[in-house]
Amino acid sequence: MKKMVILTGAGMSAESGISTFRDSGGLWEQHRVEDVATIEGYIRNPQLVIDFYNERRKQLPTVKPCRGHELVAALEKNYDVTVVTQNVDDLHERAGSTNVIHLHGELMKVTSSISPNDPLQIQTLTPEHLEIHMGETAPDGSQLRPFIVWFGEAVPMIEKAAEEAMKADIFVVIGTSLNVYPAAGLVQFVAPEVPVFLIDPKDVPWTSSHRYTHIKKGASAGMEELLEDLGIEN
């Protein structure tokens, strides 16, 4: 079975109604990046950061996977699929994808403020318990914090994602501006002969020398066209 690696960004979740950070009207317009998405912001005002992610988490049960998420999951019938996502929501999993690498963390998980990437400290919240509060602690006794990779923090899953990219027979990029590194550099690990498809309605800055096919549509319509190109009925 051929290996397909799919890199997804905010444009995929936007079709489910999740606000993107960078677009007009996105979440950054209400909050400074430095305040809610850096370790310095968290140290400065942990209450603000915890409240911000509590609100985002409460949005999750109100949204559903879009057609694009469902078509990505359906590809597992035809390919060995690895999804590498910059998104922190759980929509790929809810759509049925079974092999998802989250580069920037997971909104439904919380962890230690001291050792955020220690598996023993990571807890998964439930739909009945979506909020954490000041004073709630991880097993190591530190304040629970969102299991999110903030700007300036190491991206622990990038090596695994790069290994998957190197094994790809087909590489697909959906709904990402390719502005955020190291995720944007993953295409550099794709073998030169491997076909690359870019699904995005906008022009995307492409810094790689790797040739690609640009499907200039949103995530769902673009996935439908990709499946058609691959000869797969959906």
Q: In what order do the strands lie in the sheet with 105-112?
A: 123-124, 105-112, 144-148
Residue 127, judged by CB atoms within 10 A of its CB (0-12, 13-18, 19+), counts as exposed
Q: How many residues does the chain have?
A: 234
211: left (phi over 0), alpha (psi -120 to 50) or beta: beta
Task: For residue 27, list its beta bridge partners.
Answer: none
Query: Of 104, 129, 133, 214, which one is the catalytic site residue?
Result: 104
Q: How far is CA 231 from CA 39, 70, 157, 227, in A?
A: 46, 17, 32, 6
Q: Catalytic annotation on 129?
A: no
Task: For residue 80, list its beta bridge partners.
Answer: 3
Please answer whether residues 52 and 150 qualify as being in contact, where contact means their C-beta atoms are separated by less than 8 angstroms.
no
Instruction: Kindly list the catalytic residues.
Output: 104
